[in-house]
Amino acid sequence: MSITKKMGRRGIIKTCEICGEEFHPKHGNQKYCGEGCIREAKTRTMRKLRKTYGIHNKKKWLGTGGLGSTPYHDFKREMIAIQKEKVRCGLSK
């Protein structure tokens, strides 16, 4: 759906790309009428990206596992965390 612009008494009126409702934009680049439509647009974008790039499972994305930004002081505990992350990412047999 394309954005349509027209002039009203209070300035430019645009049509929301998601729901089709007319609204007065707060700035020139605004495409959606409110927070609900912004969330829906983000959801649609993520679905499209997952479909395009074959990303179906968030758990396999790097950086979302159990490894923290700092290592454990206990070597055995750190090694177990690394092994679990390898299994989660499908890097071990």
Question: Count of domains in the chain?
Answer: 2
Q: Is the pLDDT of residue 64 over 60?
A: no
The letter for the amino acid at 62 is L
Instruction: Specify the pLDDT at position 15.
Output: 93
Residues of the domain holding 63: 58-89
Instruction: Specify the pLDDT at position 22.
Output: 92
Q: Are residues 31 and 71 in the same domain?
A: no
Q: Is the pTM of this model over 0.75?
A: no
Q: Which residues pair with 14 in a beta bridge?
A: 5, 23
Q: Are residues 29 and 66 in the same domain?
A: no
| In contact, 32 and 44? CB cutoff 8 Å | no
Q: Is the pLDDT of residue 43 over 80?
A: yes
Residue with more model confidence, 7 or 87? 87
Q: Are residues 11 and 47 in the same domain?
A: yes
Instruction: Specify the pLDDT at position 1.
Output: 47
Distance CA 15, CA 17 (A): 6
